Chain A
Amino acid sequence: MRKIVLFLVMSTVIVTLIYSCQDAEQLEYQTYYSNGQTLYQTYCQNCHGEKGEGLGLLTPPLTDSLFLKNNRTVLACIIKNGATTPVTVHGKTYEEKMPAFPKLADIDIAQIIVYVTNSFGNKMGMYPYADINKDLKSCATR
């Protein structure tokens, strides 16, 4: 009887430990996502829209998962430095300039990327802020 109780207690502890580890990861993602949403509303939504729908041929939509996937490491550069070269999204070309947001910190950019790449029909998971620094270094030489 005693053994069974001991076993039950031990297994509960182990399961809780594993679970809380996953929880911490999940929690970090959720923090990124919800902060990213607030940042998106402040800096991006005016042009890109509440649902990432874009605006005519003036602003590209953010619903092209393939574009986001192929350009995932360039997203930080685009957000921080703006964009002056035309982009093709959903087969349409968008020529307007995107303004730069140089004041955004790496963590802000990471959170915006997590929000955008996991909303509007996209599901690309976490993007840690440590990667942003790396991404930004390579866009300076571009």
Chain B
Amino acid sequence: MNKLCQSIRFVAPFLLAICCIACSNDKKLPFYGQREARITKAADGTEKVDTVYQTIPPFRLLNQDSIYITQDAFKNKIYVADFFFTSCSTICPTMHRNLKTIFDAYKNNPDVMFLSHTIDFKYDKPSVLKKYGQKLGVDGPKWQFVYGTKEEIYHIAEHDYLVAVQEDQSAKDGYIHQGWLVLVDKHKRMRGAYDGTKSDQVAQLQKDIAILLKEEN
């Protein structure tokens, strides 16, 4: 018994120290998607292994003002991306009601932006998106709504942001899609995905945006 007490006394400070280090360490967000190791050679001949994370490739899409936007619009910004359509009466209104609370929280922070892609390539032309943004109460460059061809948008959704989208005649509004809100950092890497229909996950997104903003400053 005595021995046990002694060993506890011996180990306890270490455990405490580990706890403290773990606690004081700033939380870092994970990286989503594929990753690969790249070996780079320094000038002195030593080899270094770098991890390369999946990034959002360049795009060029019409926004709500009928202007083509590219990744330049999101240079040095973190942004939240999602897929929706304006006539959706299922999950989209909930997603955007929740996302709007985050929009309002970061209204005055120019480093945070929003990017919604419409998957209704037939009806959601830029003018429709413009009206939608105005009525949602988020009119302005901070929240971009983009329109593209079916091929463009569906490819971006599935390959770049890893969100499933589909045209489906049997669905109530003609399309089905997942309600992920994808958090993208200043280096175009995906750092989180949150179910936009669940308020607890959206609250987590808001916390994670704060962590991401700190991480990169």
Q: Which residues of A contact B (CB under 8 A)?
A: 45-47, 49, 55-59, 96, 99
Contact = CB atoms under 8 A, between A and B. Distances in A.
B167 to A, nearest CB: 18
A55 B96 contact: yes
Q: Is the interface of B mostly helix, strand, loop or mixed?
A: helix
Q: Is the interface of A mostly helix, strand, loop or mixed?
A: loop
Interface string B125-140: 0000000101111000
Contact of B97 (A49, A57, A96, A99): A49
Contacts of A57: 134-137
Contacts of A59: 93
Nearest to A97: B87
Contacts of B90: 46
B91 to A, nearest CB: 7
A99 B89 contact: yes
Most chain-B Cβ atoms within 10 A of its Cβ — which of A46, A59, A96? A46
A96 B135 contact: yes
Contacts of A49: 97
A56 B89 contact: no
Contacts of A47: 89, 93
B38 to A, nearest CB: 44
A74 B141 CA distance: 40
Nearest to A47: B93
Given A55-B96, A56-B137, A99-B172, 18 more contacts: A45-B94, A46-B89, A46-B90, A46-B91, A46-B92, A47-B89, A47-B93, A49-B97, A55-B93, A55-B97, A56-B135, A57-B134, A57-B135, A57-B137, A58-B93, A58-B135, A58-B136, A99-B89
B201 to A, nearest CB: 15
Contacts of B132: 58
B22 to A, nearest CB: 37
A47 B173 CA distance: 14
A86 to B, nearest CB: 12
A122 to B, nearest CB: 21
A99 B87 CA distance: 9
- In the A-B complex, the 3 residue pairs with the smallest Cβ-Cβ separation, listed nearest first, are A57-B135, A56-B136, A56-B137
A124 B132 CA distance: 33
